[in-house]
Amino acid sequence: MLLITCPHCGPRDEVEFRYGGQAGVASPADPEALDDATWARYVFFRDNPKGPFAERWVHAAGCRRWFDAVRDTVTNQFLDPEPRR
Amino acid sequence: MSGTRAPSDGRIDRNRPLSFTFDGRAMTGFAGDTLASALMANGVDVIGRGIYTGRPRGIVAAGVEEPNAIVQVERADGVSEPSLRATTVELEEGLRVQSLAGRGRLESPGDAVDAGRFDARYAHCDVLVVGGGPAGLAAALAAGRSGARTILVDADTELGGTLLGTRDELDREPALDWVRAAAGELAALPETTILLRATAIAYHDHQDILVAERRPDARTEGRLWHIRAGQVVLATGAHERLIVFADNDRPGIMLASAALTYLHRYGVVPGQRAVIYTTNDSTRTAAAELTEAGIEIVDVVDSRDGRAVSGSEGGDRLEAVVVDGERRGCDLLLVSGGWNPVVHLFSQSRGSLRWDDGLATYLPERAVQATHVAGSANGVFDLDGCLREGAAVGARAAAEAGFGDGRPPVMPAADGGTAIGRVAPIWFVPAPEGETAEARMFVDLERDATVADIRRATGAGLASIEHIKRYTTIGTAGDQGKTSGVVASAVAAALLGQEPGALGVPTFRAPYVPISFAFIAGRDRGALSDPIRTTSIQPWHVAHGAVFEDVGQWKRPRFFPRAGESMDAAVLRECAAARTSVGVMDASTLGKIDLQGPDAGDFLDRVYTNGFAKLKVGSCRYGVMCRVDGMVFDDGVTSRLADDRFHMTTTTGNAAPVLDHLEEWLQTEWPELRVRATSVTEQWATVAVVGPRSRDVLAVLAPELDVSADGFPFMTWRESVVAGLPARVFRISFSGELAYEINVSTWHGLAMWEEVMAAGERFGITPYGTEAMHVLRAEKGYPIIGQETDGTVTPQDLGMEWVVSKTKPFIGSRSHRRAENRRPDRKQLVALLPLNPDALIPEGNQLVAAGTDLGSRPVPMIGHVTSSYRSAFLGRTFALALVRGGRERHGEAIVAPLADGTTIEAWITDPVVVDPDNARRDG
Amino acid sequence: MAATPSPHLPDHPAHLWRNPDPKPAYDVVIVGGGGHGLATAYYLAKNHGITNVAVLERGWLAGGNMARNTAIIRSNYLWDESAAIYEHSLKLWEELPAELDYDILFSQRGVMNLAHSLGDVRAGQRRVSANRLNGLDGEWLEPDDIARICPIVNLSSDVRYPVLGATFQPRGGIAKHDHVAWAYARAADALGVDLIQGCEVTGIDVADGRAVGVQTSRGPISAGRVAIVAAGHASLVAAMAGVALPLQSHPLQALVSELLEPIHPTVVMSNAVHVYVSQAHKGELVMGAGIDSYNSYAQRGSFHVIEHQLAAALELFPIFARAHVLRTWAGIVDVAPDASPIIGPTPVDELFVNCGWGTGGFKATPASGWVMAATLATGEPQELARPYALERFTTGALIDEHGAAGVAH
């Protein structure tokens, strides 16, 4: 089981968290201005790198706060010592 | 000759005899025996049969690496466990042991469910030491003395490891005296824990180590420890290897170290006339020790002298071996083909391995996690070296965890110990008769796989060890290749003309030893397999004979049958009461979310398809939420409590996902919005009073509340005192009837329910369950999320354009404008009225256009039934369905072909089949 | 001795394949030597006479998800598009042992999918109704029927989530994964396809919007067409040509028990409690669970998934209590947003993908290879593959097997 450091609560077992996928994908400011392909990209396409991945977690069974972290998808090691809030 | 019990010696308690049976034969052993040592002492040679060859097989090893002595063990309490290694089973009174031919048996003790109880424990420590042999003890002493929280785990019943089976000395005293002193010191350290009978079975990412602790005398059979360790010291030892030659599987052929362990630890003399066949120095004192026990040493064959054993003779017991072409009579062949460090956990931790030519095996190379290796697991085979390395590694691990200065404590001196020197491996001994004998050269005894199998695999074009493993099945049995893996790799390499270390070994997979399903499942069985949620009104439901259904984790009353009443009859009765008089339902399971903050209205505008910002305080509104893909996610009524406060309801099953959804958007997309969302599902009990007489009931309970149609209009809510209890009353309806949902503190839920029942008695108030609720709402065409929807349905498909704003963006709004969402032939919600008003179309049934040829396949389907009921109000059956272009098909016929070959024909209508003008909701 | 020896596995052939060095150029280069890649190569050669084909495998043939899956075969999917391609696959399975002259231990012992809630029942009956009208052998089982087919399922009402019924496909079953892959590999090799192991693709050469070859750890290889059939690694390979795929790679764990005497006659899946189990030919119980939540290429999952899976298994099968976990492992599954595969052309000419099979790829192996071969042979999506175009994420015409169909396994 992964050990995930919640920036608010500290290191906790993975079962307290829910995964949120790629971090930093902003909802388009004006969806209506987008064509279908661009909209589809936002809805369905996410990076899937082998290696460092900036991703989101939510401490669902704890403080319920979302945060970003960088994890290597090969080693599962979290790379930034202090996950970003 | 077979094994016998020595007159003395060993660490068994000869004052505590234990009886057991083996294949029905009564036998006796002693406390401290393993099943294997007891069987050997009772003269049993053949403990199993080759899984495919049926050849007799005896005990080979004294530990977890045993490939042959695998048995079915029935305990005195009737629990029967398959496929146990006799070498790892502690003898206990009354065991009934059966030999197996490769496959175990699963048996239920009678009709009872096997309720074997296992616990899970969670622990954190600074230093975890795996293995309580000399290296592990030294490491634990070093770590423990530093003050680090230290856990020492060992699979055996006592500490000491290999020292338990040798006569080594330390500082010229028996090594076991030092072991005893070390164990005593560790036990006295306040921050140090020793777990015996505890096997580390897995080493996962993030220093997560699983330890299975057997507890034969405790209330639970075992505990699965999840240990999160700052630093890990692996002192897991090494397994001796067999040597492959023709007929190397005969009972009486065993690992040299195992024979000495049986002799010294268990006081069992494994045979009378022995040949020793070795490739290294680890056997150098064996001859003397065996001689002392009265065993005749016939020959010592050392591969380093260019000598070899090339065959064996005998039946169920070894009678002779062929040494350099000569027959040598013996009943025991002790082999040492070299040693395999136990690198399983190290490898599981993602540490890399390297081939070592001098030791002819794989050694730990580079750790990836905070992992240290000591002793023979690290290729150090002399006792002195193990102690020194253990102490050094233990001190280093502690220092890295922040304890001590990293300087190792002084260890006692060993007199040489059992160094193995250079290993001159012999991967398989060619037979005089050539390759035909290779089918009798066993590499994996448990899988009955031979050199011939490997030759066939390489001949077929396979060059990867993983392919060869799969082709031959070598290493896939219960021992997971502990004795065979390295040998198989080297044999394959030899056949491919490569160096022994060229192919590597197959991945070491967890668990290190087999572990029962029950051990892992722990307490999460039966009622504890998933939490059961009930409302505060549950005791009343149970007392009144409700039949429950599982809705998520909730138990909800499905209907309340009277004595002898069928479900159909009960539901018709419950529905009729709600439509003609008054019914009452426990709606407490609905998700409830308290939204507070000045931007709450704006926030709701973004998450619901319709607008909420302008909702008046005191009013309620139905809303639909979509996912970003535009599909319906949830629905419910949200009420404005104050300018900056809303009370949202969700479907029962989606309460948590909706809260997560709100939090995600609030926190990650719109952090500027000043809104807080809090689940209050558990805080409020909800009693829904439904039907034309519901106003009368409420009037009785809340005399000061104006319950008139004008004073308390539809889709508003009031704060009031109801039956003396503070309450929020919502005038909303999921049935189309006049209805009030009375919300009180969960503490008062049962009291309120009972007050409502009492107040409604004169009107014949009728409790109803989810089934009637479903019928009532379906009559009004109200969809149930997850029943009318399946993640592919939009609000428009449900005929709810009226709830979808055209003027404001909301989550998913853009998706509604995609090509697929604008197709006129999307599946749309309709009602179906079967031509035969008694015919009930099964829920889920597919639908085809009238006139469709049902004689050939595939039959084009145009929709399916989502809900189907008998309506008390209509006096007939009806259904809801999703039908392609359904809104344009009102008035058309449609056909439901049933599983039994018959069909039900129905008219398509508007989804609202009762009270389309909403005349009933004001009572 | 108490028991009879276990059945032998059938012997593998004495010759499987050549190990050729790569040629400088091929008509078709298939990136990925798993089951789907091997089947694609075989059908290219057999159905279309295209034999100047290379299958490039980074590691050892069929060593990825093919070697790691629980080998369940069924076709009883909900949507027409799914039923069509999986049923085509099942029909191919039924011919496969004879066609490839290889005993792949294909055993049509039936696949049962348990319902534990009224919602499960409704969804199951919906699927069975669709299956029957699509010409598949779908059946709905009441608890009594379940007891008849698989007596060890715990049908007591005392369990946390009682079994209310099940869908059943009698023609479903299991096969032996390695045998399947090796059968395809041997047949493709015999038809002239070059199976090249230890050959990692490091780049895709694109000229004027058209794929013309690949860079590999064993040198450049020109190609008339390039097919990416790389499962968990598909998005990485596609990215080499600048093509984005809507895939996320997750661990999917499985485990196996020791060999046991026959006790479990069919295949039982339970979506609601996340477990599926069969007893393989030799006697081991083979079990799978749900995917781990996070993206990973580690081929490792988290142990709580296994704990949950075994607790669920014991709820359903109390008699498994004393069976042992021998070995656990994980594959990397590439999951598309609608849990359906992506098959067909990409924005780069002559570059095709076949990926996104998620947790359900094994059963699709024959049809996947079949339709991919036809697609590669003609340059146009084969009829059964057409609904699975990448384009569907733009139009919204998804084939969502998450919802009512329930399982994606």
Beta bridge pairs of residue B17: B30
Average confidence (pLDDT) over B859-887: 97
Say whether B857 sits in a helix, a strand or coil.
Answer: coil
Q: Which residues 66-85 of A are in CB contact (within 8 Å) with C?
A: 71, 73-76
Q: Which chains does chain A touch, 3 or more C-beta pairs < 8 A?
A: B, C
Q: Peptide bond before B916: cis, by omega within 30 degrees of 0? A: no
Q: What residues contact C125, with CB distance under 8 A and at least 6 apart?
A: B842, B843, B844, B845, C140
Q: Is the Cβ–Cβ distance between B636 and B651 less than 8 Å?
A: yes
Cα gap B243→B451, rounded to integer Å = 12
Q: Peptide bond before C318: cis, by omega within 30 degrees of 0? A: no
Average confidence (pLDDT) over C362-367: 98
**Chain B residues with CB inside 8 Å of C132's CB?**
897, 899
The percentage of chain B sitting over the pLDDT mark of 70, rounded to a whole number, equals: 99
pLDDT, tens digit (0-9, with 9 covering 90-100), for B488-528: 999 999 999 999 999 999 889 999 999 999 999 999 988 88
The burial of B262, by beta-carbon neighbours within 10 Å (0-12 exposed, 13-18 middle, 19 or more buried), is given as buried
Q: Is the dihedral of CA C315, C318, C320, C322 positive or negative?
A: positive
Q: Which chains does chain C touch, 3 or more C-beta pairs < 8 A?
A: A, B
Cα–Cα separations (whole angstroms), residue B914 to B796, B874, B918, B919: 21, 8, 9, 10
Return the pLDDT at C1.
Answer: 39
The domain spanning residue A22 has which CATH number?
A: 3.30.2270.10
Mean of all residue pLDDT scores within chain C? 94
**Chain B residues with CB inside 8 Å of A75's CB?**
205, 350, 368
Query: Does the pLDDT at position A83 exceed 70?
Result: no
pLDDT, tens digit (0-9, with 9 covering 90-100), for C106-134: 999 999 999 999 999 999 999 999 999 99
Query: Does the pLDDT at position B886 exceed 70?
Result: yes
Return the pLDDT at C407.
Answer: 36
Residue C340 C-alpha, separation from nearest chain A C-alpha, in angstroms:
13
Picking from B103, B630, B791, the nearest residue to C3 by CB comes out as: B103
Q: What φ, ψ does residue C321 adopt, rounded to 5°?
A: -50, -40
Cα gap B244→B247, rounded to integer Å = 9
Return the pLDDT at B769.
Answer: 98
Contact state of B478 with C320 under an 8 Å Cβ cutoff:
no
**Chain A residues with CB inside 8 Å of B206's CB?**
1-3, 76
Contact state of B790 with C158 under an 8 Å Cβ cutoff:
no
Return the pLDDT at B113.
Answer: 63
Q: Is the Cβ–Cβ distance between B71 and B263 less than 8 Å?
A: no
Q: ipTM for the complex?
A: 0.96
Of B898, B779, B870, residue with least CA distance to B567: B870
Contact state of B106 with C396 under an 8 Å Cβ cutoff:
no
pLDDT, tens digit (0-9, with 9 covering 90-100), for A20-43: 999 999 999 999 999 999 999 999
The total of structural domains in chain A comes to 1
Search chain A and give the residue with CA nearest B817.
A36
pLDDT, tens digit (0-9, with 9 covering 90-100), for B387-422: 999 999 999 999 999 999 999 999 999 875 558 888
Q: Is the Cβ–Cβ distance between C343 and C368 less than 8 Å?
A: yes
pLDDT, tens digit (0-9, with 9 covering 90-100), for B415-454: 755 588 889 999 999 998 889 999 999 999 999 999 999 9
Amino acid at B891: G
Structure tokens of C134? 């699509």
Search chain B and give the residue with CA nearest A30.
B809
What is the band of C290 on the pLDDT scale with cuts at 50, 70, 90? Answer: confident
Residue B191 C-alpha, separation from nearest chain A C-alpha, in angstroms:
22
Amino acid at C5: P
Domain of residue A74 covers 3-83
Picking from A28, A36, A65, the nearest residue to B819 by CB comes out as: A36
Choose from A4, A25, A44 for mutation: most chain C CBs within 10 A: A44
**Chain A residues with CB inside 8 Å of B628's CB?**
27, 42-43
Residue B369 C-alpha, separation from nearest chain A C-alpha, in angstroms:
10
Residue C11: alpha-carbon gap to chain centroid: 24
Query: Does the pLDDT at position B18 exceed 60?
Result: yes
Mean of all residue pLDDT scores within chain B? 95
Cβ-Cβ contacts under 8 Å between B and C: the total is: 282
Of how many residues is chain A composed?
85
Domains of chain B, start order: 4-99 (3.10.20.440), 117-238+345-415 (3.50.50.60), 241-338 (3.50.50.60), 435-495 (no CATH), 538-588+684-768 (3.30.1360.120), 591-679 (3.30.70.1400), 821-917 (2.40.30.110)
pLDDT, tens digit (0-9, with 9 covering 90-100), for B331-386: 999 999 999 999 999 999 999 999 999 999 999 999 999 999 999 999 999 999 99
Other beta carbons within 10 Å of B825: 11
Return the pLDDT at C409.
Answer: 34
Say whether B732 sits in a helix, a strand or coil.
Answer: coil
Return the pLDDT at B107.
Answer: 85
Average confidence (pLDDT) over C77-89: 97
Query: Does the pLDDT at position C289 exceed 90?
Result: no
Search chain A and give the residue with CA nearest B226.
A1
Choose from A50, A71, A75 for mutation: most chain C CBs within 10 A: A50
Q: What φ, ψ does residue B38 adopt, rounded to 5°?
A: -65, -40
Contact state of B104 with C260 under an 8 Å Cβ cutoff:
yes
Say whether B814 sits in a helix, a strand or coil.
Answer: helix
Write the DSSP string, B868-891: EEEETTTTEEEEEEEEETGGGGTT
DSSP state of A37: H
Contact state of C247 with A48 under an 8 Å Cβ cutoff:
yes
Cα gap B513→B197, rounded to integer Å = 13
pLDDT, tens digit (0-9, with 9 covering 90-100), for B44-75: 999 999 999 999 999 999 999 999 999 999 99
Contact state of B861 with C133 under an 8 Å Cβ cutoff:
yes
What is the band of B544 on the pLDDT scale with cuts at 50, 70, 90? Answer: very high
pLDDT, tens digit (0-9, with 9 covering 90-100), for B639-679: 999 999 999 999 999 999 999 999 999 999 999 999 999 99
Domains of chain C, start order: 24-67+178-247+338-405 (3.50.50.60), 108-171+248-330 (3.30.9.10)
**Greatest Cα pair distance in chain A:** 43
